[in-house]
Amino acid sequence: MHLLSLAAGVLPEFSPEEIARAAVESGFRATGFTVKPEEWTDQTTRNVQSILRGTGVEVLDVEPVWIGADGRITDSHRKILDVGAALQAKNALIVSSCADEAQNRRAFELLAEYSARCGLRACLEFLRITSIQKLSQALGIVEAVGHPAGGVLVDSIHLARCHEFELLRTVDPKWMPYAQFCDGRASCAEGHQSLLADAVDERLLPGEGALPLRESLQIFREDIPLALEIRSKALRKQYPDPVARARRVLESATSWFGY
């Protein structure tokens, strides 16, 4: 059985405290958090810890550790990982705007090393709207670095848009500590704006779209945790309450999985 986690992207307009409460009150067993270094304080950490304490809800990931165009690792990156450590998160989501492969490898190596000290897995996500656009690129960096705290983050939408589904069959499971899961349209128009909208506004609940979700589950290990990354403008409009929206996502997913 997969651990199903409330991805922070389901509730983008809400505070970390509100996301924590929504996860608890809707019945999720795990959740994730967007950590904005300039806004997240020690008090935020204490508040989230207090809400989650004794509930059994774990923190699956913190995000996004965004490597900039210059490839440098900054205190802001380290702060996100430090927050992850304080929340006892399992993973940190890494993305990159750096176009230089060697710089990306070095930056990812540094992040993997720091993540290891924080008790986290550093998971490099590929998506068409960043510099690392394909599974093959992300996997190449992760394998080249070879750090045991490294990993690749596979997202259902981004896997479909990079057209490398067959490559997924060859990925060593040790490099996939968790995945992001959603449904979506069979295809998306090319262009940054179309791909961005596809990723942040137009995702669908499992079973509502045309992605090969059952096939991907046959490739993933049976117990891989899944962050339900249902970024949906329609759900945001239909369910303005965070608990109701989280509950809708969880109920839909558990029904689809047969849990």
Quick one: which of 119, 115, 63 has its CA closest to 93?
Answer: 63
> Which domains are assigned to the chain?
4-257 (3.20.20.150)
Q: How far is CA 123 from CA 94, 206, 220, 240, in A?
A: 6, 23, 16, 30
Q: Which residue bears the tokens 């992300």?
A: 138
In tens digits, what is the pLDDT along the chain, a chain of 259 residues? 999 999 999 999 999 999 999 999 999 999 999 999 999 999 999 999 999 999 999 999 999 999 999 999 999 999 999 999 999 999 999 999 999 999 999 999 999 999 999 999 999 999 999 999 999 999 999 999 999 999 999 999 999 999 999 999 999 999 999 999 999 999 999 999 999 999 999 999 999 999 999 999 999 999 999 999 999 999 999 999 999 999 999 999 999 999 9
- pTM of the full structure: 0.97
